[in-house]
């Protein structure tokens, strides 16, 4: 029976409760390998098609593991042929997995998103009187949009400086900004004991800048900080 992977935690932590169910309501169990423990379940197929319900189920298992230790969350959809194959991979990746566990231990992830999509970027409707007027309007609108995006980047950097200066973040990862994006994001790895302080620091920084909307979502398992690719 193929084995579906949710997360990896240090060996010796409490295993999942017998009642814990995962993707497609499969019972979740622990699989041990060389000082590591993985939370897994059986799955009938090697391919698990993504769905919102399955994504929620995956994350709920990871959150349950967070109640015992800080897990290294696995990306959705990783299926190994057997328990033995999963244990072999864990053993092969042991050093990098231990590094990831050390990085995130005691922390959660908070997503900081600065929204600027609703900001006015460019004035008025497109002119119709001439091609030149239209091109001028397009250029002005592009410049205005760039200015708004630059302001959002500035605020993102200001927030990062604020939480770093306050010592309430262990690491920050900056998301790429796709062309045409309406927000910029960063992921903050925050010690659990400093979550309230982190929130307060973000709030204080935002209060100094009324131009942008800022969302703070979480706490999440540290998905962003455990995105090391396979070796």
Partner 1 sequence: MSDDALELSGDDRLVLGDLLNHVLDKGIVISGDITISVADIDLIRVGLGIYITAIQSELDHAAAQERATPDAHVPVLHHPRGL
Chain residues that interact with partner 1, rule: CB under 8 A: 5, 8, 46-53, 55-56, 58-60, 63, 72-80, 89-90, 93, 97, 100, 109-111, 113, 115, 178, 196, 199-200, 202-203, 206-207, 209-210, 212-221, 223-224, 226-230
* Nearest-angstrom CA–CA distance, 198 and 101: 22
Sequence-distant (≥ 6) Cβ neighbours of residue 211 within 8 angstroms? 119, 151, 155
Nearer to partner 1, 74 or 172 (CB): 74
Sequence-distant (≥ 6) Cβ neighbours of residue 96 within 8 angstroms? 228, 231
Contact 3, 82 (CB under 8 A): yes
C-beta of 3: minimal distance to partner 1 in Å?
10
Nearer to partner 1, 138 or 204 (CB): 204
* Nearest-angstrom CA–CA distance, 47 and 80: 10
CA dihedral sign, ordered 60, 61, 62, 65: positive
Nearer to partner 1, 30 or 140 (CB): 30
C-beta of 152: minimal distance to partner 1 in Å?
13
C-beta of 211: minimal distance to partner 1 in Å?
8
C-beta of 216: minimal distance to partner 1 in Å?
5
Which residue, 206, 80, 189, 220, is CA-closest to 152? 206
* Nearest-angstrom CA–CA distance, 86 and 4: 9
C-beta of 25: minimal distance to partner 1 in Å?
15
* Nearest-angstrom CA–CA distance, 160 and 205: 10
Nearer to partner 1, 102 or 228 (CB): 228
Residues in the chain: 231
* Nearest-angstrom CA–CA distance, 9 and 70: 7
C-beta of 100: minimal distance to partner 1 in Å?
6
Nearer to partner 1, 28 or 97 (CB): 97
Nearer to partner 1, 146 or 217 (CB): 217
């Amino acid at each position: 029976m193929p084995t579906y992977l949710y997360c990896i935690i240090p060996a010796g932590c409490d295993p999942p409760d017998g009642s814990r169910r995962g993707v497609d309501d499969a019972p979740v169990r622990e699989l041990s390998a060389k000082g590591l423990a993985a939370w897994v379940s059986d799955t009938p197929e090697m391919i698990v098609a993504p769905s919102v319900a399955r994504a929620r189920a995956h994350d709920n298992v990871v959150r349950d593991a967070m109640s015992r230790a800080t897990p290294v969350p696995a990306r959705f959809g990783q299926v190994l042929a057997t328990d033995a194959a999963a244990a072999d991979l864990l053993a092969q990746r042991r050093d990098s997995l231990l590094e990831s566990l050390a990085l995130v231990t005691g922390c959660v992830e908070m997503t900081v998103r600065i929204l600027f999509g609703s900001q006015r970027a460019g004035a008025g409707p497109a002119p119709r009187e001439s091609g030149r007027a239209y091109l001028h309007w397009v250029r002005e609108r592009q410049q205005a949009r760039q200015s708004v995006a630059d302001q959002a980047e500035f605020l993102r950097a200001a927030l990062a400086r604020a939480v770093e200066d306050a010592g309430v973040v262990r690491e920050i990862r900056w998301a790429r900004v796709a062309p045409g994006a309406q927000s910029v994001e960063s992921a903050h790895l925050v010690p659990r004991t400093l979550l309230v302080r982190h929130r307060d620091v973000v709030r204080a920084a935002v209060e100094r800048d009324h131009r942008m909307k800022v969302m703070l979502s979480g706490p999440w398992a540290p998905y962003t900080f455990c995105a090391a690719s396979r070796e």
